[in-house]
Amino acid sequence: MLLYAHAKINWTLAIRGRRPDGYHLLSMLMQPVTLCDTVRLERADAVTLEVTGNPSVPSDERNIARKAAQLLREHCGTKEGARIRIEKRIPVEAGLGGGSADCAAVLAGLNRLWGLGLGQEELEALGLRLGADAPFCLRGGLCRAEGVGERLSVYEKTPRWPLIIVQPCGGLSTGEVFRRWHAANERTEPDETALLRAIEADDPLMLPPRPGNDLESVSRILRPEIAEAVEALRDRGACCAQMSGSGSAVYGVFPDERTADAALHAIRVRWGSACRCATCAESVTFAEE
């Protein structure tokens, strides 16, 4: 079984509070993008995981995708096994939800491979036990995620706009970024009115230059290259450019394919890791082999 686990971008990220257990209460608008990891699943006697494409990603019990398989076995009381192979393309510690995307693909794929028959809500509840972005990565579409990521509201419109995504520096620890944010306590008010108006009109030229991400200012202090990448994307014609999640990846939305393709060459000269993709509706997709 072959699946594609799609990355996501944050159109907005606003911190609304904190629960007694330390988890942050958020309000985010998120959408999948066509950049994805490849996940292959085969029946086996035990659960094993092989990761290629990024040597820094562990393949042992620390990997969230392996945790997902084990959690599914325990939840359903099954002794089924699987050989899991993940080819990484989504940058790590980037704010693009790569780990959660792999987790979601394994939950959805093994549910089908093992014939477990779990519904969407049950899969999302399991995903939430592993990562705050996992329920969204199972749902897809243009979504508002609230609470710690468990309350999802899907919007009808899902624009498909050209993007360039670049990770201009080393990864960032989500925990460290949130600690820095608490020390600075800098809040922004996302420009959701203009953002949603542009989405409704399907016109990227109407996008606000920076829809709003509460974590970007502190992440820029930790990694000044983030600000450089945002400005480089805007200089090359991006209608909108900002950091995704807690960073360190930055995305730029372009008005058309031609402008995005022209910008990609210049951006890659400076940051070879830049990639061209697009926003989309699909989060986990199954492919026929």
> Whose CA is closest to 235, among 247, 252, 256?
252
Same domain (yes/no): 171, 141: no
Q: H/E element holding 267? A: helix 257-270
On the CB side of 95, CA atoms within 13 Å amount to 34
Same domain (yes/no): 174, 149: no
- Euclidean distance between CA atoms 158 and 279, whole angstroms: 8
- What pLDDT digit, counting tens, does each position of 215-254 carry? 999 999 999 999 999 999 999 999 999 999 999 999 999 9
Q: Tell me how crowded residue 177 is: count the other CB atoms within 10 A of its CB.
A: 23
Q: What percent of the chain has pLDDT over 90?
A: 87
Is residue 44 within 8 Å of 79, Cβ to Cβ? no
Same domain (yes/no): 82, 174: no
pLDDT at position 187 is 74
Q: What percent of the chain has pLDDT over 70?
A: 99
Helix axes 64-76, 120-128, angle to 10 degrees: 130
- Euclidean distance between CA atoms 278 and 24, whole angstroms: 29
Q: Tell me, rounded to whole angstroms, the distance of Cα 89 from its chain centroid.
A: 12
Query: Coil, strand or helix: which one is 31?
Result: strand
> Whose CA is closest to 271, among 130, 170, 154?
170
pLDDT at position 289 is 52
- Euclidean distance between CA atoms 107 and 123, whole angstroms: 7
> Whose CA is closest to 138, among 163, 121, 160?
121
For position 92, which CATH number holds?
Answer: 3.30.230.10
Question: Domain range for residue 253?
Answer: 162-278
Same domain (yes/no): 54, 128: yes
- Euclidean distance between CA atoms 6 and 281, whole angstroms: 10
Overall domain count for the chain: 2
Same domain (yes/no): 137, 48: yes
User: What is the greatest pairwise CA distance in the chain?
Assistant: 55
Inform me whether the pLDDT recorded for 183 exceeds 70: yes
Same domain (yes/no): 124, 67: yes
Same domain (yes/no): 239, 274: yes
Q: Tell me how crowded residue 242 is: count the other CB atoms within 10 A of its CB.
A: 26
Same domain (yes/no): 169, 237: yes
Q: What is the DSSP string of 44-98?
A: ESSEEEEEES-TTS--STTSHHHHHHHHHHHHHT---EEEEEEE--SPSSSSS-H
Same domain (yes/no): 138, 27: yes
pLDDT at position 288 is 65
Same domain (yes/no): 148, 197: no
Q: Show which residues are catalytic.
A: 8, 133
- What pLDDT digit, counting tens, does each position of 62-99 carry? 999 999 999 999 999 999 999 999 999 999 999 999 99
Inform me whether the pLDDT recorded for 185 exceeds 80: no
Tell me how many helices (H) and strands (E) the chain has. Answer: 9, 11
For position 234, which CATH number holds?
Answer: 3.30.70.890
Same domain (yes/no): 44, 170: no
Confidence class for position 189, pLDDT limits 50, 70, 90: confident
- What pLDDT digit, counting tens, does each position of 7-56 carry? 999 999 999 888 887 778 899 999 999 999 999 999 999 999 999 999 99
Same domain (yes/no): 231, 186: yes
Query: Coil, strand or helix: which one is 104?
Result: helix
- Euclidean distance between CA atoms 261 and 97, whole angstroms: 24
State the average pLDDT over residues 252-263.
97
pLDDT at position 171 is 92
- Extract the tokens encoding 67: 């945790």
